[in-house]
Amino acid sequence: MVNIGLTGGIGSGKSTVATALRARGAVVVDADAIVRDLLGPGGGAVRAVVDRFGDEVVGEDGAIDRAALASTVFQNAEARNDLEAIVHPLVAVRTTEIVAAAPEDSIIVHDVPLLVEKHMGRQYHLVMVVHAPAEERARRLVEKRGMSHADAMARMSHQADDDARRAAADVWLDNSGTEEELLAQVEKVWEERIIPFRDNLIAGRIYRPENSSVLVDYDEQWPAQAARIIDRLSAALGDKAPEFEHVGSTAVPGMEGKNAIDIQVGVRDLHEADDPEFVRILTDLGYPRVEEYRLDHPTDDLPDPSLWIKRFHGSSDPGQVVHLHVREIGTAGWQYALLFRDWLRGDPGAAEEYVEVKATVDAQSNSVEEYRRSKAPWFNEVWPRIQAWARKEGWQG
């Protein structure tokens, strides 16, 4: 199954998106709805909340008066933390129950208001963020919820800002226009990304783009994309992989490259990468093993192929091509990937030369494999220059 995190600031239109996804067949886990049940008459959190905040937060029906509770915790960080310590574990339990009851081919959408604030993005295959400008959100809150403008702005100020949300977003839904325009974006993402991603996950296959070798201009979002990928990998693999690095062309600021994020996954011993549990974790995360790629191209001064062995995983997500290069820490291939990246970062002329080489090879190649083979001689040719640069700069991997 695919687990998707859905979030957005208050008044952004997140609930509209959740409703649209539910209508398309998603199983929506609504954190706010779970909290309402927990705080309702006989709810699982009522007793603990009363014990902490007193009888004044209880309504006549025995439910927690959420307005009274909000006024108590809104400006008090300690009280807010205490409330979260009561409620969040119970929400997690109920969420686990809902997910466990869903069919294996389900698309699970976790509607979580504080996803960004609580750094929960690593828990999901994708994070969708619904965005609207602050003034538009305030207007909606005033008109639809009866808040004062000052109250609306105050509530927004206690949430993550746009930069933090954008850094967390795999999918950015712009809700500054009409509802129809928002729903059109949802439909496109559902059909072109979420459904194929789910199908690829179930089949354990990678997404293979038709024009994977096409060069594109540098994208300012590449570092953030790599950071999200590494965060998920680190959380899933734990001490099985102690090192992750963003490598390749997309790790070089300003340089053209293929729209594919290359991540080097460092393991202590390459045999660990062949552990079925290691492979399963990556496959479930959306990164199946690709068996045909097991060797980097040796250089003339280090011709022993055993120094260049790796494992390779692609990505199931059609919206984000990812290459995971699993290498043993300290090997020639591991060092080359880091040094090559840093050389390109430190020598603008080298970066320009590499772009020219890629463009020439791309124009002459009829397949991805031919593209890779055709670049290999250049990597070997520039190795002495890279080593000279490393000595001059005092580079250490």
210 part of a folded domain: no
321 and 346 co-located in one domain: yes
Q: What is the CATH number of the domain that holds 258?
A: 3.30.460.10
pLDDT digits (tens, 9 = 90+) for 250-283: 999 999 998 999 999 999 999 999 999 999 999 9
> Are residues 220 and 197 both part of a single domain?
no
pLDDT one-digit tens code per residue, 87-121: 999 999 999 999 999 999 999 999 999 999 999 99
Q: Which domain holds residue 118?
A: 2-203
163: burial class by Cβ within 10 Å (0-12, 13-18, 19+)? Answer: exposed
- The reply to whether 232 and 196 lie within a common domain is no
Residues 237 and 189 reside in one and the same domain: no
Instruction: Tokens for 310, please give them.
Output: 């790796």
More confident residue, 365 or 88: 88
Tell me the sheet residues that pair with 257.
Answer: 216
> Which residue positions form the known binding site?
11-16
**In the predicted structure, residue 249 carries a pLDDT above the cut 80:** yes
pLDDT, tens digit (0-9, with 9 covering 90-100), for 118-142 = 999 999 999 999 999 999 999 999 9
Q: Are residues 330 and 221 in the same domain?
A: yes
Could you tell me if residue 49 is inside a domain?
yes
Domain stop point among 156, 174, 203:
203
Which of 203, 234, 258 is where one domain is finished? 203
Domain count, the chain: 2
**Residue finishing a domain among 174, 203, 232:** 203
**Mind listing the pLDDT tens digit for each residue in 20-30?**
999 999 999 99
Residue 209 covered by a domain: no
Give yes or no: residues 185 and 289 share one domain.
no
What tens digit of pLDDT does each residue of 34-52 get?
999 999 999 999 999 999 9
Does residue 191 share a domain with residue 236? no
Using pLDDT thresholds of 50, 70 and 90, give the confidence band for residue 295: confident
pLDDT for position 373: 81
Same domain for 153 and 255, yes or no, is no
* 208 domain residue, yes or no: no
Confidence of residue 156 (pLDDT cuts 50, 70, 90): confident
The beta strands (E) that lie in the chain are given as 2-8, 27-30, 107-111, 126-131, 171-174, 215-216, 243-247, 257-258, 260-267, 311-313, 321-328
State the DSSP code for 273.
G
Measuring CA to CA, which residue among 6, 22, 43, 273 is closest to residue 165? 6
Per the CB < 8 A criterion, the answer to whether 389 and 347 are in contact is yes
pLDDT at res. 241: 98
Per-residue pLDDT, averaged over 181-187, amounts to 98
The answer to whether the predicted template modeling score (pTM) of the entire model surpasses 0.85 is yes
**Confidence class for position 309, pLDDT limits 50, 70, 90:** very high
Within-domain flag for 75: yes
Q: How is 119-142 classified by DSSP, letter by letter?
A: T-GGGSSEEEEEE--HHHHHHHHH
Mean pLDDT of the chain: 93
Arithmetic mean of pLDDT, 209-236 = 91
Residue among 134, 93, 107 at smallest CA distance from 6: 107
Question: Is the Cα dihedral 96, 101, 102, 105 positive or negative?
Answer: positive
Say if CB 107 and CB 2 are below 8 A apart: yes
Q: Please state whether 188 falls in left (phi above 0), alpha (psi between -120 and 50) or beta.
A: alpha
* Residue 133 sits in the same domain as residue 259: no
Residue 150, domain CATH: 3.40.50.300
Residues at the binding site for ATP are 11-16
Q: Give CA–CA dist 329/270, Å, rounded.
A: 9
- For the four alpha carbons of 61, 62, 63 and 69, in that order, the dihedral sign comes to positive
Same domain, 366 and 327: yes
Is 184 among the domain residues?
yes
- Of all residues in the chain, the percent with pLDDT exceeding 90 is 77
Decide if 19 is inside a domain: yes
Q: Check whether residue 241 and residue 385 sit in a common domain.
A: yes
Are 199 and 229 within one domain? no
> Is the pLDDT reported for residue 213 higher than 70?
no
Q: What pLDDT is recorded for position 212?
A: 64
pLDDT tens by residue, 366-384: 777 788 788 888 988 899 9
